[in-house]
């Protein structure tokens, strides 16, 4: 896997750039920006993207061998790579909140947004966008309306991290896990790693979409990235789509 890294001082959105240029760019292109003017999260939510040392990047995957039912597992590989990278940098107590947010204790440190470019029923590109709080201070974080943290704050060290080195650490981890995922007989290894890096198994949760709430207890995760809940109606699998998860 060879990453084609494209660096920008400022861009509207790294995801949008890759969506617009999917056909022209090679597989495993990475757009990384110092600042985004229109960064966004899931369901179109605005992602706070100030300049000053955070990591905003998107990865393009154009593999024709990925089936539609497998798509939701790919951004979860990225979430696993980020969680592992944080731990290797000494950020303890990091965990994955399904489908692909990264928390440290009860504060969010990273979000992952997956988008697709389709032509009919043909997948032209899968884009995985990442916003990781690297060098935000406590003062910066106070401007965010939900509990948030950063690598700098969690390290208890005034020495800022290298944003580009952090990117390379994450990409190396992603490459390793994607190679494992590419061998179908080894995908159970990733599910086990996902379990180890999630605090959700055994927890009561609520899944929300625009119309209803689903209540249940987390039992496991599937190889396709679904969450498996024990509900009043029995055992059910859910793919993330437009669903959001809340702990009860």
Q: Is the pLDDT of residue 234 over 60?
A: yes
Q: Is the pLDDT of residue 181 over 90?
A: yes
CATH topology of domain 4-196: BirA Bifunctional Protein; domain 2 (3.30.930)
Domain 204-247 listed as CATH 1.10.260.40: no
What are the start and end residues of each CATH 2.30.30.100 domain in the chain?
A: 204-247
DSSP 45: -
pTM for this model (two decimals): 0.90
| CA geometry: angle 213, 244, 169, nearest 5 deg | 160
Residue 172 CA from chain centroid, whole number: 15
Q: Is the pLDDT of residue 140 over 70?
A: yes
At residue 16, φ and ψ (nearest 5 deg) are -65, -40
Dump pLDDT digits (tens) for 36-74: 887 655 544 555 556 667 999 999 999 877 888 888 889
């Amino acid at each position: 896997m060879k990453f084609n890294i494209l660096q920008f001082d400022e861009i509207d959105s790294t995801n949008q750039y890759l969506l617009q240029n999917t056909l022209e760019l090679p597989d495993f292109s990475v757009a990384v920006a110092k600042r985004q003017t229109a960064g966004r999260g899931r369901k179109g939510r605005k992602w706070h993207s100030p300049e000053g040392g955070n990591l905003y990047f998107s990865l393009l995957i154009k593999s024709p061998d990925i089936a539609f039912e497998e798509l939701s597992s790919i951004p979860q590989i990225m979430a696993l790579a980020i969680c592992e990278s944080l731990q290797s940098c000494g950020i303890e107590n990091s965990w994955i909140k399904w489908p692909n947010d990264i928390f440290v204790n009860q504060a969010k440190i990273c979000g992952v947004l997956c988008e697709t470019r389709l032509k009919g029923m043909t997948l032209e590109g899968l884009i995985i966008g990442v916003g990781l709080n690297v060098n935000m201070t406590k003062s910066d974080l106070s401007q965010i309306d939900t509990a948030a943290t950063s690598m700098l704050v969690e390290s208890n060290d005034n020495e800022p991290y290298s944003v580009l080195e952090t990117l390379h650490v994450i990409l190396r981890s992603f490459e390793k896990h994607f190679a494992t995922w590419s061998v179908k007989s080894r995908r159970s290894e990733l599910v086990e790693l996902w379990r180890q890096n999630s605090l959700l198994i055994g927890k009561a949760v609520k899944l929300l979409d625009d119309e209803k709430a689903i209540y249940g207890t987390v039992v496991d995760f599937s190889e396709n990235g679904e969450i498996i809940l024990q509900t009043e109606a029995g055992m059910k699998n859910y793919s993330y789509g437009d669903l959001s998860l809340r702990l009860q």
